[in-house]
Amino acid sequence: MRTFVLKRILQAIPILFGISIIAFAIIQLPPGDYLTTYVNNLRSQGDVISDEQVKALEEQYGLNQPLYLQYWKWITNFVRGEMGQSFYWNKPVRSLIGERIALSMLVSLFALVLTYAIAIPIGLISATRQYSFADNLFTVLAFIGVGLPSFLVALVLMYFGNRYLGLSAGGLFSIEYMDAPWSLGRVLDLLKHMILPALIIGISGTAGTIRVMRATTLDELSRPYVEAARARGLREMVAVLRYPVRVALNPIMSTIGWQLPALVSGETLVSMVLGLPTCGPLLYTALITQDMYLAASFIMILSTLTVAGTLLSDILLAWIDPRIRFGGIQ
C-alpha cells in the first residue's frame, strides 16, 4: 500500500510540471510584451510612468532573461505564494484569489457530497427494483439531468427556489454578513446560500452517478457471490448491502477524480449566473481581459487541486479494493 501511494505521488509530479508549463505559456500568449501592454494601458489612462519604473518592473518579472529562467522565477515565486500582479485589478493576485479559492472549494465539495448523498441511494433503489415505477422515473429524471445545460437549470431553480422556498438566489452571503467576521450565523447563512448552487453544480454529476451506480449494482447483483451469500442464509438486505453494493461503490469512488474538473467548470458557469464570489467569474474576466498572471495562477491552482483530487480518489480506491491494492485485477 505504501509503495502504491508513493508511486502515485511520483507520477503526479510530471503532470504538475506539464500543467505549470502550460500555465506559463498562457502568460506568454498575448501578442507583444505584456509589460508593454500594461504600461501602455496605464499611460492611456493618464498615469505617468517613468522609464525607471518600467525598468524595475522588467527586473521584477525577469523579462530581460531567457525564457527558462523566467519560468523558473515564476514557478518558484508561485510556490512561495508570490503569484504576481493582476494588471486589471492592479492588486497582487494572491489577495484577489485567497478567499475565493476557499469558497470555490467549499461549494464544489458541498456539491460533491450532495451528489453522492442523492445519487448512491437512488442508484441502489433503481438497481434493486429494476423496471419498477421508481426506477423508470429516476431514469427519465437522470437523463434530463445529464442533458440540460447547467445555466438553464440554474435559472429555473433560482426562480423556483427563491419564489417558493425562500432560498437565496444570488451571492453566498446575505448583506448583513457580507463583510462580517466568521460566526455561527455567518456559517449558517453561507450554508443556506450554498444549497442551490451546490444542487445546480451537482445536478449533471448526480444524474451521471445515478446511472453508474445503477449499472454497476445491477451488474454485481447477478454475480455468483451474491447467490452464494443468499445460499449462506443471509438476509436479503444484508446480502445486497454487504456484498454487491460494497463492490459497486468502488467505481463510484474512482469517479471523484473526474468529477472534480467537471465541478470546477460547472462552478464557473453557475457562479456567473448566480453572482457568487468564487473563482469562476474572476477566472472568466481574467481570460477576457488578458489578465495573464491572474489567469495562470487560477489555472495552476485549480489543476493542482484536480490532480490532488484524482490522487486522493486513486488512493481511496486502492484502500477499499484489495484487487487494486495488490496489483491488478486478474
Please identify, among the stretches 43-51, 62-70, 143-151, 246-254, the one whose residues bind another protein according to the rule CB under 8 A.
Answer: 246-254
* Backbone phi, psi, residue 91, to 5°: -140, 155
Q: In this structure, how many other beta carbons lie within 10 angstroms of the beta carbon of residue 54? A: 15
Quickly tell me which residue has 518558484 as its cell: 76
User: In the complex with another protein, which residue's Cβ is closer, 250 or 285?
Assistant: 250
Contact residue for another protein among 110, 116, 138, 243 (CB under 8 A): 243
The amino acid at 159: Y
The answer to the question of residue 224 lying near another protein (CB under 8 A) is yes
In angstroms, the CA 274 to CA 235 distance is 48
Segment interacting with another protein (CB under 8 A) among 31-39, 226-234, 251-259, 280-288: 226-234
Nearer to another protein, 163 or 235 (CB): 235
For residue 204, what are the contacts with CB-CB under 8 A and spacing of at least 6?
Answer: 145, 146, 148, 150, 262, 266
Is 225 an interacting residue with respect to another protein (CB under 8 A)? yes
The residue (of 66 and 224) whose beta carbon lies closer to another protein is 224
The grid cell for 112 is: 460533491
Residue 228 binding another protein, by CB under 8 A: yes
Interface pattern 302-321 for another protein (x via CB under 8 A): ------------------xx
3-state secondary structure of 266: helix
Counting contacts by CB under 8 A, is residue 136 touching another protein? no
Interface with another protein includes 232 (CB under 8 A)?
yes
Interface with another protein by CB under 8 A: which range of 76-84, 120-128, 184-192, 242-250?
242-250
Toward another protein, which CB reaches closer, 50 or 330? 330
Interaction between residue 135 and another protein (CB under 8 A):
no
Pairing of the two strands 85-86 and 91-92: antiparallel
Q: How far is the CB of 313 from another protein (least distance, A)?
A: 17
Quick one: which H or E segment has residue 108? helix 93-128
Considering the rule CB under 8 A, would residue 252 count as an interface residue with another protein? no
Q: Measured from the CB atom, is 184 or 237 closer to another protein?
A: 237
Asked whether 244 and 129 are in contact (CB, 8 A), the reply is no
Work out the end-to-end distance of the chain between its first and last CA atoms, rounded to an integer number of angstroms.
18
Which residues within the stretch 1-60 sit at the binding site for another protein (CB under 8 A)? none
Residues of span 57-86 touching another protein by CB under 8 A: none
List 13, 56, 191, 231, residue binding another protein (CB under 8 A):
231
Quote the CA–CA distance of 264 and 111 in Å, as a whole number.
10
- Who contacts 297 (Cβ-Cβ below 8 Å, separation ≥6)? 23, 78, 83, 84, 93, 97
* CA pair distance 22, 228, nearest whole angstrom: 53
Q: Is there a contact between 120 and 213 (Cβ–Cβ < 8 Å)?
A: yes
DSSP lists the bridge partners of residue 86 as 91
329 interacts with another protein by CB under 8 A: yes
120 binds another protein (CB under 8 A): no
Site for another protein in 277-296 (CB under 8 A): none
Per rule CB under 8 A, is residue 233 in the interface with another protein?
yes
How far apart (Å, rounded) are the C-alpha atoms in residues 244 and 228? 12
Size of the site for another protein (CB under 8 A): 24
Residues in contact with another protein by the rule CB under 8 A: 223-225, 227-236, 243, 246-247, 250, 320-323, 326, 329-330
